[in-house]
Amino acid sequence: MRLAELSERSGVPSATIKYYLREELLPAGLRITATQAEYGEEHLRRLRLVRALIQIGRVPVATAREVLAALEDESLDQHRRLGAATWALPHGPAPDESDPATGAARREVDRLLADLGWRFSSRTASSSPPYRMLVTAVTALMKLGYPCDSAHLTPYARIAAQLATRDLDMIEERTTPMEQVEAAVTLTVLYEPVLLSLRRLAEAEESNRRFGKGNG
């Protein structure tokens, strides 16, 4: 297909596609004349992934390029490719290492991961954006006096494990590694609001059951 058709099928303006080509986010097409190139289905799939990273995931162009490089790195297994994509997504603030409560929170998070049997080495965990975000959240809970030790967090972690299984089932339904990475990015970004909304709706339902008029 020509650039115009690639633009029409993907919904991405031609000028944006040309920008992605210049930034090496999209591989060059097969040159057929001095001014025209031919593009295939692989370009359409890559373009969808790039858009998922940049538009949905709000990933900077330079970071998107790193994710795509990891995708093409045949020395990486699919687990690491998926990790490179999802870890590149925006996360919450990193822990404040000057705060004395951070150390206590990190110890509690490490205890939680050990109790769960989740295979995170200290080096891997410390470089993980979700791990750092969890430490920051637990620090805030500790300072406000809310329960956040391993015993209190474990039920939430068990539910998260079930959600992760569902996510990976959906990702695994995709047929190619690139489609799986695209699904990982899209599901991570779009399903988090879904999960938050469902939790709040469930809390409202449970609150009505416990405290609503006529239920006492």
pLDDT digits (tens, 9 = 90+) for 186-205: 888 878 888 999 999 999 99
Its pTM stands at 0.79
Provide the pLDDT for residue 123: 64
Q: What percent of the chain has pLDDT over 70?
A: 97
Does residue 85 lie in a domain region?
A: no
Is 201 found in the same domain as 112?
yes
Instruction: Answer for the pair 109, 138: CB distance below 8 angstroms, yes or no.
Output: yes
Domain extent, residue 106, equals 100-211
- Domain end position, chosen among 33, 58, 75: 75
Residue the block writes with tokens 């990193």: 94
Is 36 found in the same domain as 108?
no
Is 71 found in the same domain as 129?
no
Is 193 found in the same domain as 108?
yes
Q: CA-CA distances (angstroms) from residue 52 to 1, 151, 154, 174, 177?
A: 22, 37, 32, 15, 15
What is the count of structural domains for the chain? 2
121 Cβ partners below 8 Å, 6+ apart?
Answer: none
Does residue 33 lie in a domain region?
A: yes
Q: What is the pLDDT of residues 18-48, one digit of tens each?
A: 999 999 999 888 888 877 889 998 899 888 8
Whether residue 216 has pLDDT greater than 80? no
Q: What is the pLDDT of residues 83-136, one digit of tens each?
A: 888 887 888 888 999 999 999 999 999 999 999 999 876 566 778 889 999 999
How far apart are the C-alpha atoms of 28 and 21, rounded to whole Å? Answer: 6
How far apart are the C-alpha atoms of 69 and 51, rounded to whole Å? Answer: 16
